[in-house]
Structure 1
């Protein structure tokens, strides 16, 4: 049975206020769990204990039912959930109610009956079903305290190369002392979450396993990058190809394709290869089933040669001497 010195302030452990939203609790837990994770602090027992406290605090406060019991009954919230009568001489304050140390707990069969009688003294129903006249407010039925809190979900991250994410891959993941084989489907993106039902950690309260959620992280690729759902890449072309246009082969995630570059393109201009980008998850509608790839956006970069042959030098000299094109005509009159 916990004593006052055993009590853990889960809000203080997570560094949040008692009015924190579920999102704030989740963010605080993730930040501190990464900092104190045993893998990040090998051989540090203090970090290991802190990590255990963080998991315990998150498990209680992330579940509305257990958080409500914890807020109302303090260090005795577990007894409220198990239906166990409190020990003789217990005195604390939970939700504004004083547990009188002189109370004869032998007359109560379990903690549930004690709570009903306690709440009756504060305007709630007693064991007999009657309500004291001090308040007209009726307390809720506390039978729900005997239900066990569901097992918490476990969060983890898994890093993939762009090739693994595009094609899909089988990975082996170490979670505590268990090795899990995880199948990552094709088309996973940065921030995607994969649910493994019943593969999370075991709850110390219910002894049940929660779900494991894997968040996808991607290693950067030297050529392909994301722009929303599409992929982008930069392809160099010669000045003469930009002027005259050309046909050239462009890399895509699953092999090179021929692309037509129209004449007169500019440096930085983008061309689109439809259906040559990232793999989309298959949807239910006919349109989603047909469109399984995003686009590849090809950004052109005009690259001038550093060294020229005599023929090239002569040709460029002739072009320079005979050309009437002035690319700076639109800015000649610019002034401040």
Structure 2
């Protein structure tokens, strides 16, 4: 199960009052820098996962509100706990000094989003919040407390993310069957209701959220719902134009290479990117890459020599 100790705002390099546009812009910039397909530094993948988790939390208004209120413990606090009640309980515990020795390491620390006072621990606050439920700790029990939501990562190939389907995963020693929707994207969260932490005294279990990670692929590069792939062509196909085959996660497709295409030209196959069950699918972009033989038979060499002799084309002339 994934755990996070760094402040999500710091991870994205934005202030705590940043708007959604600023958060999205910061995420896109960092994702382009640290994506494992682009950045081969050993720590780039971990950094990419960190900023993806931060974005998944801060881009959702409801989840961001809980994070702002409860700090790193926001996934442990039951859904029915009101942030204002939590703040009052925190203030009250801080005024009384809390339990001796409690609270070390709890919350986000000084200046963090939870901001627990000295000596105020997570259990202390829960005690105050739930003291009216089932007698509290005075009655030797917390009362019914819903299970905490949990998170885990699931790594998929581009093909598996494209097609979706059933998968079996192991989380916390439990084997769980998961239905992967077709067209899931990197960083997307899949909710498994009731598969999180167990509740106490008959309370409902929490939910398990699977964070999708799409593994690097030797052929495809996924950007949101768009897919990019290189398209090798011969010099004559690029010069004269041709209809050539291109691999896609859904199978082979045909793309028309216009005459006079140079390496780097992008050919768009609309709707051939990642599926979108709730809207428009992404596109597939095939990037022309002109290939030449490593060695030439005599007959082909003569033809290239004849072309070189008669052609006036100079690619270096502006």
How far 1:85 sits from its partner (Å)? 9.1
SS state of the match for residue 314, structure 1? helix
Deviations along 1:11-49, one digit per CA (max 9) or x if unpaired, are xxx688xxxx8x9xxxxxx98xxxxxxxxxxxxxxxxxx
1:86 and 1:201 map into 2 onto residues whose CA distance is 21
Q: Which residue of 1 aligns with 2:89?
A: 69
Decide whether aligned partners of structure 1 residues 187 and 207 sit closer, same or farther in structure 2, where only a CA change above 3 A counts: same
Decide whether aligned partners of structure 1 residues 266 and 156 sit closer, same or farther in structure 2, where only a CA change above 3 A counts: same
**Largest Rg, 1 or 2:** 1
Note the 1:111-126 alignment, pairs <5 A: none
How far 1:81 sits from its partner (Å)? 2.4
Deviations along 1:229-287, one digit per CA (max 9) or x if unpaired, are 21110011111111111121111211112221111111111111122221112x3xxxx
8 Å Cα contact 1:66/1:149 also seen in 2: no
Q: Which residue of 2 aligns with 1:319?
A: 307
2:129 and 2:205 map into 1 onto residues whose CA distance is 22
Q: Which residue of 1 aligns with 2:76?
A: 59
Decide whether aligned partners of structure 1 residues 151 and 190 sit closer, same or farther in structure 2, where only a CA change above 3 A counts: same
2:289 and 2:6 map into 1 onto residues whose CA distance is 50
2:215 and 2:288 map into 1 onto residues whose CA distance is 24
Q: 2:288 aligns with which of 289, 293, 300?
A: 300
SS state of the match for residue 206, structure 2? coil
Aligned residues: 222
Q: Which residue of 1 aligns with 2:265?
A: 269
1:195 and 1:254 map into 2 onto residues whose CA distance is 26
8 Å Cα contact 1:156/1:214 also seen in 2: yes
What is the TM-score when the length of structure 2 is the normalising length? Answer: 0.60
2:242 and 2:136 map into 1 onto residues whose CA distance is 85
How far 1:57 sits from its partner (Å)? 8.7
Decide whether aligned partners of structure 1 residues 212 and 68 sit closer, same or farther in structure 2, where only a CA change above 3 A counts: farther
Note the 1:274-293 alignment, pairs <5 A: 274-281=270-277, 283=278, 288=279, 291=280, 293=281
SS state of the match for residue 251, structure 1? strand
> RCO (CA 8 Å, sep 6+): is it higher in 1 or 2?
2
Deviations along 1:172-230, one digit per CA (max 9) or x if unpaired, are 22232432211111111110101111111024588431111111011111111113321
Q: Which residue of 1 aligns with 2:158?
A: 162
2:202 and 2:131 map into 1 onto residues whose CA distance is 11
Q: What is the root-mean-square deviation of aligned Cα atoms in Å? A: 3.7
Gaps of 5+ in 1: 1-13, 24-29, 32-53, 88-109, 111-145, 331-336
Q: Which residue of 2 aligns with 1:229?
A: 225
Decide whether aligned partners of structure 1 residues 325 and 60 sit closer, same or farther in structure 2, where only a CA change above 3 A counts: closer
SS state of the match for residue 265, structure 1? coil
What is the TM-score when the length of structure 1 is the normalising length? Answer: 0.57
Gaps of 5+ in 2: 8-15, 19-48, 51-70, 100-123
